[in-house]
């Protein structure tokens, strides 16, 4: 049953060194405030999981929180590269980063398998690609294998389930019991929470009653571990109905991330010296 | 004075990128369903919808179907896409229910590297996979878009670095090593039908499936295009000279770009 706590307490209790953590959000509702709190609490050796690692994962990787990244597209959308991610892969700075790499379809299905309590999912995918040859990465167990349909004999592709220790998402609202509601582009957040052992949900606001919204995803309180109020906690991404995407921030990030010193200054000024929940 | 002004109106200067975007937009037919990649493809798809293809259905991998943005989105999940979409669905659903069964007419992709069989690399360049010279963003939705859309159009700036004999890493399959490979791999779509660059248009040779230069923009020579390819680029006997952007096309494109700033 969800406990409503501060962001610092939620991160402190849910996320431990060495955990596999999925902070999901597909452009919309990205849990930046929670990611910054993970940096501030100096978590280490995390396996970070995300379909679209963008700036918040660039920041976590640059801060040295991650040992491994499981992903399908790592870039600054519409702008270019993630330079902290590239520096880690190309030069092992600040620490080496192991990677396990998939396509979006593969990652989405791996979350579906995790949420479904199945060991794998089936799709048409990867045929003829270098990802198939790599078998999803290196230094870890294979995560992509051919499978024969028992009904037609057709060869399809199996991908192993993702079961994170912790899912972290941002939502528009929760009620006082901890039932969570999110709407707009909802990505794989439902699957990520249901696939995970524990979960942290930051919200724009806590309300007395969740009135229905078209197309909303509702996560009942008993599927969530911690709910933490974090208004504006998706910035520079956005929360539909609450805020707009700060495209200028994404553009400005490029110059900060290109330079180790500029990035280190940014970490000191914008994360380490800022109290939780005041980003 | 008046005739000078009207002459200026028909001879508006344009950039190579504008010509490329206009050319890519023209490749989309009205009423098609189009799975749109971000960047150059998104600008071209939105231009098509604003000009000759008002009923083009734009589908973004964020789960927005039938998006009708009034300005160019910076990402595949900008709020304007969700607010203007016919339907907003989850990410597993967009790939499993919509892309995988072959419901989508055309996949519109970009590339960091592309080879003569239309295979795309957006993963790593140089070195080896574990120790690359350049780490690119990776696959995203592209492998399955390239496999499952009924056809694929690629928009990419042409250079010695981007147009290579063989890609360093096959992120998304075009025609593999040549005829028969898509069938052997079980890829359900027809594969890349056009590569649209800042110099012209390439199409696969019907027999060899090797991409051949079939169209050139005004003022661009086939020799210039051959110089900017990393393989011995085949050129059609008489490449079509593609019309310069019309004032209406340029107005629409520039108005989108102004709105986005």
C-alpha neighbours within 13 Å on the C-beta side of residue B176:
17
CB distance B148 to B191 below 8 Å: no
Q: Is residue B179 part of a domain?
A: yes
| pLDDT score of A138 more than 80 | no
Per the CB < 8 A criterion, the answer to whether A20 and A197 are in contact is no
Q: Do A104 and B95 count as a contact with CB atoms less than 8 A apart?
A: yes
Sign of CA dihedral A11, A13, A15, A17: positive
Q: How far apart are the C-alpha atoms of A63 and A38, rounded to whole Å?
A: 10
Q: Name the residue among B91, B132, B188 with its Cβ closest to that of A187.
A: B91
Token digits for A1? 């049953």
Q: Do A184 and B63 touch (CB under 8 A)?
A: no
Q: For chain A, what's the residue count?
A: 279
Of A27, A101, A131, the CB nearest to B76: A27
Both structure tokens of B79 = 């709020």
- Calculate the average pLDDT of chain B: 93
Cα gap A233→A171, rounded to integer Å: 9
Helix ranges (H only) for chain A are 7-14, 32-40, 55-62, 83-91, 104-116, 130-134, 189-195, 247-258, 260-267
B33 closest CA partner among B150, B142, B118: B150
**Structural domain boundaries of chain A?**
3-101+163-272, 115-160
A127/chain B closest Cα distance in angstroms: 6
DSSP type of residue A270 = I
In a domain, residue B45? The reply is yes
Taking only residues 46 to 105 of chain B, the set having a beta carbon closer than 8 angstroms to any beta carbon of chain A reads: 61-64, 73-79, 81-83, 88, 90-92, 95-96, 99-100
Residue B226 lies inside a defined structural domain of this protein: no
Q: Of B61, B144, B210, B249, which one is the catalytic site residue?
A: B61
Strand order in the sheet with B120-121: B120-121, B113-115, B163-164
pLDDT band at A277 (very low <50, low <70, confident <90, very high): low
Query: What does the alpha-carbon distance between residue A8 and residue A276 come to, in Å, rounded to a whole number?
Result: 6
Distance from CA of B221 to the nearest CA of A (A): 31
What's the pLDDT score for residue A47?
98
Tell me the per-residue pLDDT of A93-114, one tens digit each, with 9 for 90 and over.
999 999 999 999 999 999 999 9
Q: State the pLDDT confidence band at B113, using cuts at 50, 70 and 90.
A: very high
Residue with tokens 């007395």: A208
Lowest mean pLDDT of A23-37, A239-253, B71-85, name the range: B71-85
- What percent of chain B clears pLDDT 70, i.e. is strictly above it? 95
DSSP B10: H
Give the residue numbers spanning the domain of B185: 12-197+244-259
ipTM above 0.90, yes or no: yes
Q: Can you give the pLDDT at residue B40? A: 86
Is the previous residue joined to B113 through a cis bond, with omega within 30 degrees of 0?
Answer: no
pLDDT digits 0-9 by tens, B52-75: 999 999 999 999 999 999 888 888
Distance, CA of A158 to CA of A38 (rounded, Å): 33
Nearest Cα neighbor of A53 from A19, A85, A8 is A85
Nearest residue of B to residue A130 by CA position?
B170
In chain A, residues with a C-beta closer than 8 Å to the C-beta of B138 are 71-75, 101
Q: Between B220 and B6, where is the model more confident?
A: B220
- B132/A89 Cβ within 8 A: yes
User: In this complex, do A184 and B82 lie within 8 Å of one another by their Cβ atoms?
Assistant: yes
Q: Which residues of A are less than 8 Å from B82 in CB distance?
A: 28, 184-185, 240
B249 noted as active-site residue: no
- Checking if the pLDDT of A260 tops 50, the result is yes
Which residues, in sequence order, are CB contacts of B1 under 8 Å at separation 6+? Answer: none
Average pLDDT over residues A176-187: 97
CA distances from A37 to A179, A270, B70, B219 (A): 23, 11, 36, 56
Q: Considering only the beta carbons, identify the residue of B75, B78, B170 that sits closest to A128.
A: B170
- CA nearest A132: which of B191, B187, B112? B187
- Contact at 8 Å (CB) between A121 and A112? yes
Indicate whether B192 belongs to any domain: yes
> Cβ-count burial of A67 within 10 angstroms (0-12 exposed, 13-18 middle, 19+ buried)?
middle
Of the pLDDT bands very low, low, confident and very high (cuts 50, 70, 90), residue B1 is very low
Strands A3-4 and A226-229: parallel
CATH number (3.40.1080.10, 3.40.640.10, 3.30.565.10, 2.60.40.10) of A3-101+163-272 reads 3.40.1080.10
Residue B7 pLDDT greater than 50, yes or no: no
- Closest-approach residue (CA) in chain A for B61: A104
Whether residue B10 has pLDDT greater than 60: no
Residue of B nearest to A155 (CA): B186
Q: Nearest Cα to B221, choosing from B211, B231, B204, B235? A: B235
Shortest distance between the Cα of A43 and any Cα of chain B, in A, equals 25
Decide if B217 contacts B125 (C-beta within 8 A): no
Residues of chain B in contact with residue A190, where contact means CB-CB under 8 angstroms, are 90
Q: Buried b vs exposed e over B170-196: b needs ≥16 C-beta within 10 Å?
A: bbbbbbbeebebbeeeebebebbbbbb
Band the pLDDT of A33: cuts 50, 70, 90. very high
Question: pLDDT-derived band of residue B8, with 50, 70 and 90 as boundaries?
Answer: very low
Residue A236 to chain B, least CA–CA distance (Å): 12
Q: Judge: B78–A27 Cβ closer than 8 Å, yes or no.
A: yes
Check CB contact under 8 Å for B88 and A86. no
Q: Is the pLDDT confidence value at B154 over 90?
A: yes
Q: Could you tell me the pLDDT band of residue A263, with boundaries at 50, 70 and 90?
A: very high
Token reading at B233: 């680029």
Q: How confident is residue A136, by pLDDT bands cut at 50, 70 and 90?
A: low
Q: Does A17 have pLDDT greater than 90? A: yes
Structural domains of chain B, count: 1
Residues of chain A in contact with residue B140, where contact means CB-CB under 8 angstroms, are 52, 72-73, 103-104
Residue B151: CATH number of its domain: 3.40.1080.10
**For residues A259 and A41, what is the distance between their CA atoms, to the nearest angstrom?**
23
Is A157 strand, coil or helix?
A: strand
B254 within a domain of the structure (yes/no): yes
For chain B, how many residues are written?
A: 261
- Residue A187 to residue B88, Cβ atoms within 8 A: no
Rounded to two decimals, what is the model's pTM?
A: 0.95
Handedness of CA B76, B77, B79, B81 (dihedral sign): positive
The reply to whether B223 falls in a domain is no
Asked if B147 contacts B170 with a C-beta cutoff of 8 angstroms, the reply is no
Mean pLDDT for chain A overall = 95
Asked whether residue B211 is assigned to any structural domain, the reply reads no
Residue-by-residue DSSP string for B226-238 = HHT-SS--EEEEE
Q: Do B92 and A111 touch (CB under 8 A)?
A: yes
Chain A contact for B188, CB < 8 A? yes
Rounded-to-integer distance, Cα A193 and Cα B91, Å: 14
Residue B185 lies in a domain: yes
**Can you give the pLDDT at residue B76?**
82
Cβ distance of A245 and B79 shorter than 8 Å: yes
How distant is the Cα of B158 from the closest Cα of chain A, in angstroms? 18
Question: According to the model, what pLDDT value does residue A278 have?
Answer: 53
Evaluate if residue A23 carries a pLDDT over 70.
yes
């Amino acid at each position: 049953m969800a406990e409503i706590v501060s962001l610092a307490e939620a991160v402190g209790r849910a996320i431990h060194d060495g955990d596999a953590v999925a902070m999901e959000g597909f452009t919309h509702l990205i849990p930046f405030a929670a990611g910054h709190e993970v940096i501030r609490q100096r978590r280490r050796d995390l396996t970070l999981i995300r379909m679209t690692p963008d700036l918040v994962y660039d920041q976590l990787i640059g801060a040295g929180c991650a040992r491994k990244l499981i992903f399908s597209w790592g870039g600054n959308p519409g702008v270019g590269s993630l330079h902290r991610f590239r520096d880690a892969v190309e030069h092992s700075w600040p620490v080496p980063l192991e990677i396990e790499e998939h396509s979006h379809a593969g990652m989405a299905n791996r979350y579906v398998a995790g949420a479904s309590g199945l060991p794998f999912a089936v799709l048409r995918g990867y045929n003829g690609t270098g990802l198939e040859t790599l078998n999803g990465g290196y230094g870890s167990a294979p995560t992509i294998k051919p499978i024969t349909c028992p009904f037609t004999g057709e060869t399809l592709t199996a991908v192993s389930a993702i079961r994170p220790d912790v899912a972290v998402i941002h939502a528009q609202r929760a009620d006082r019991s901890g039932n969570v509601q999110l709407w707009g582009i909802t990505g794989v957040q439902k699957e990520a929470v249901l696939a995970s052992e524990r979960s942290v949900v930051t919200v724009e606001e806590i309300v007395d009653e969740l009135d229905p919204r078209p197309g909303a995803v509702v996560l009942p309180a008993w599927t969530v571990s911690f709910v933490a109020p974090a208004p504006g906690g998706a910035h520079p991404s956005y929360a539909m109905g609450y805020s707009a995407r700060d495209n200028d921030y994404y553009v400005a990030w490029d110059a900060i991330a290109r330079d180790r010193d500029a990035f280190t200054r940014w970490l000191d000024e914008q994360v380490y010296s800022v109290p939780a929940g005041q980003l | 004075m008046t005739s000078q002004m009207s002459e200026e109106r028909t001879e508006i200067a344009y950039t190579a990128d504008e010509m490329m975007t206009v050319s890519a937009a023209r490749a989309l037919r009205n009423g098609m369903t189009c799975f749109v990649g971000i960047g150059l493809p998104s600008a071209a798809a939105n231009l098509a919808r604003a000009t000759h293809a008002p009923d083009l259905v734009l589908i973004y991998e964020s789960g927005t179907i039938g998006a009708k943005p009034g300005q160019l989105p910076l990402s595949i999940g900008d709020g304007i896409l969700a607010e203007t979409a016919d339907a907003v669905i989850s990410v597993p659903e967009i790939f499993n229910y919509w892309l995988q069964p072959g419901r989508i007419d055309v996949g519109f992709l970009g590339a960091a590297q592309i080879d003569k069989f239309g295979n795309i690399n957006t993963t790593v360049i140089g070195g080896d996979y574990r120790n690359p010279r350049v780490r690119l963003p990776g696959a995203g939705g592209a492998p399955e878009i390239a496999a499952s859309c009924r056809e694929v159009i690629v928009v990419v700036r042409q250079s010695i670095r981007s147009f290579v004999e063989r890609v360093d890493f096959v992120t998304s399959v075009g025609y593999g090593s040549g005829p028969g490979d898509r069938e052997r791999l079980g890829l359900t779509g027809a594969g890349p039908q056009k590569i649209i660059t800042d110099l012209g248009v390439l199409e696969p040779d019907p027999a060899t499936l090797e991409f051949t230069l079939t169209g050139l923009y005004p003022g661009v020579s086939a020799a210039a295009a051959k110089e900017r390819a990393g393989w011995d680029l085949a050129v059609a006997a008489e490449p079509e000279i593609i019309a310069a952007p019309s004032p209406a096309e340029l107005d629409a494109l520039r108005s989108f770009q102004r709105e986005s700033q």
